[in-house]
Structures are given as C-alpha cells and as structure tokens.
C-alpha cells in the first residue's frame, strides 16, 4: 500500500505492477480513452520527470481500478485507515455494485407517480406480489424505463440489493439471462438473477447462502419485470 510520502510516479508504478501491466500495455489501454502516449511517456511519469494531465490521470485511475483517488494518492479519504486487504474488499464491493448496473445515475425524467407495491417481492423465501396492494410514489429519481417499484424483503440479493431496498422495475414478459428481475413462480414473487443455460432456467441469489431456485418444466413461471435501478430515497 502506498503512503503519503510516496511520489505520484512511485504510486503509478506500483499500481501498474500490481495490475501486471507492461508500459506498452498501458499505452494501448490509454489509446482506448483517446490518449496517444508512448511507453517512454509512461516511464517519465513513473520516474516523476513529467506528470499526466487531468484526463490522462483519470484514465489511468480507471485502467488501474482506482476507486478511492484521495486514499490512494494522498493517504486521505474513506479507505485511508484500511490495510491492503480492507481496500481490496472495498474495491470488490464497488465492482459488484457497478457491474450490477443498478446504481447508475438516472437520466432526468418528468416527475410522475408510479406504484410501489407494499407486499414486496421477496429476496428470500418469496412473498406474493398483490396487484392491488400498492401506494403511488414520486418517481423523480427513477430511471426512464421504470414502470413500478417493489420493496425487497430478505437478504438473498445482498450485497447487490440490501434488505428493505426499493427497486425500480421495467415491466416486461421476457428477459436475457444474467439480468436481475422480479419473477412469479409457484404463486410467489422473487427478486433474483435469471440464468438460462443448457441445464434449464434458474433464479440465482447474490448471497451464496441461498441455493438456486430451479424452474420445473410445466410449472407456472412468469417474468414480471426487469430491475433497472435502486431508489435513493426510502419511501
């Protein structure tokens, strides 16, 4: 782990080596962000002979997986007091949230009310989603595609979706494998990740303490909608 006494070049060098990138590989990755830098330029940065500009610096942070810029480069910030193992856990958690796609900034939308179902889709054992038991809430921070909201009950989708979270749902009847949605199976509603493969159809929890739910052929199974975000406010 870098310290506050490390120079910018020293920290950049360590980050690159931790990622097992050569300087040539970093130049190729920077090119994807629109920055044409030769390996000699990377070397000068790491030797503190020159410094990257703001755009190049941010691109390097993305390439090296830096999520806490202050903590990494100044020794300050929310992870400054953590050891290397702790920082890796924070980074892993951020990666899980980013990859989920549920915490992306929502595009502005016209303020409108959408239904929040009081009887939540279960993130654990399953609760029936009553079509008449809901209240209307302000959906100003909801994604444009959101048609209704559901309060989650249970911890089976943690850490992606914590217990008692409110998820925004786009109403649909079909979904691609790998997406998180709200499903009706056996008369109960579930919030899970859909997996379709050669074995069949399964509903997968993020929490590994929960076994997959295997959808039996011939039994009633419906897609109620795809989860497209998580509400900022707790309505």
CA 101 to chain centre: 5
Contact 165, 151 (CB under 8 A): yes
The highest-level CATH class for domain 8-100 is: mainly alpha
Pairing state between β 113-117 and 148-151: parallel
Specify which of 53-62, 68-77, 178-187 reaches the highest per-range mean pLDDT: 178-187
pLDDT band at 135 (very low <50, low <70, confident <90, very high): confident
The partner residues of 225 in beta bridges, in order of sequence, read 171, 182
pLDDT of 124 above 60? no
Cα 98 to Cα 79: distance, rounded to the nearest angstrom: 18
Q: State the pLDDT at residue 4.
A: 47
Q: State the pLDDT at residue 98.
A: 66
The highest-level CATH class for domain 113-230 is: mainly beta
Q: State the pLDDT at residue 1.
A: 46
pLDDT of 201 above 80? yes
Q: How many CB atoms lie within 10 A of CB 148?
A: 21
| Structure confidence by residue, pLDDT tens digits, 110-120 | 657 888 886 55
Cα 16 to Cα 30: distance, rounded to the nearest angstrom: 13
**Higher-pLDDT residue of 211, 141:** 211
Cα 127 to Cα 187: distance, rounded to the nearest angstrom: 9
Cα 32 to Cα 59: distance, rounded to the nearest angstrom: 9
pLDDT of 226 above 80? yes
Length of the chain equals: 235
Indicate the SS3 state at residue 13. helix
**Higher-pLDDT residue of 72, 104:** 72
Among 26-35, 114-123, 195-204, which stretch is predicted with the lowest mean pLDDT?
114-123
Per-position DSSP letters for 28-69, written without gaps between them: HHHHHTT----HHHHHHHHTTSS---HHHHHHHHHHTT---H
Specify which of 64-78, 102-116, 216-230 reaches the highest per-range mean pLDDT: 216-230
Among 74-83, 168-177, 198-207, 214-223, which stretch is predicted with the lowest mean pLDDT?
74-83
Q: State the pLDDT at residue 2.
A: 47
pLDDT band at 25 (very low <50, low <70, confident <90, very high): very high
Cα 83 to Cα 104: distance, rounded to the nearest angstrom: 28
Lookup result for tokens 């303490």: 209
**Which residue, 188, 183, 187, is CA-closest to 201?**
183
pLDDT of 31 above 80? yes
The domain locations on the chain are 8-100, 113-230
């Amino acid at each position: 782990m870098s310290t506050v006494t490390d120079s910018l070049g020293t920290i950049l060098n360590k980050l690159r080596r931790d990622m097992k990138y050569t300087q040539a590989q970093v130049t190729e990755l920077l090119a994807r962000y629109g920055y044409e830098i030769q390996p000699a330029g990377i070397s000068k940065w790491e030797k503190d002979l020159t410094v990257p500009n703001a755009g190049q610096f941010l691109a390097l942070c993305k390439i090296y997986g830096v999520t806490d810029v202050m903590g990494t480069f100044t020794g300050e910030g929310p992870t400054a007091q953590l050891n290397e193992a702790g920082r890796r856990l924070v980074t892993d958690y951020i990666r899980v949230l980013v990859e989920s796609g549920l915490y992306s900034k929502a595009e502005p939308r016209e303020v409108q009310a959408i239904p929040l179902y009081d009887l939540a889709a279960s993130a654990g054992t399953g609760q029936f989603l009553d079509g008449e038991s809901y209240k209307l809430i302000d959906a100003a921070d909801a994604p444009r595609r959101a048609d209704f909201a559901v309060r989650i009950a249970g911890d089976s989708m943690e850490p992606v979706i914590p217990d008692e979270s409110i998820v925004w749902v786009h109403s649909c009847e079909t979904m691609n494998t790998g997406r998180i949605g709200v499903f009706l199976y056996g008369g109960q509603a579930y919030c899970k990740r859909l997996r379709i493969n050669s074995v069949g159809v399964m509903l997968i929890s993020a929490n590994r303490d929960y076994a997959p739910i295997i959808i039996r052929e011939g039994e009633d199974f419906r897609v109620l909608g795809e989860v497209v975000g998580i509400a900022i406010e707790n309505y």
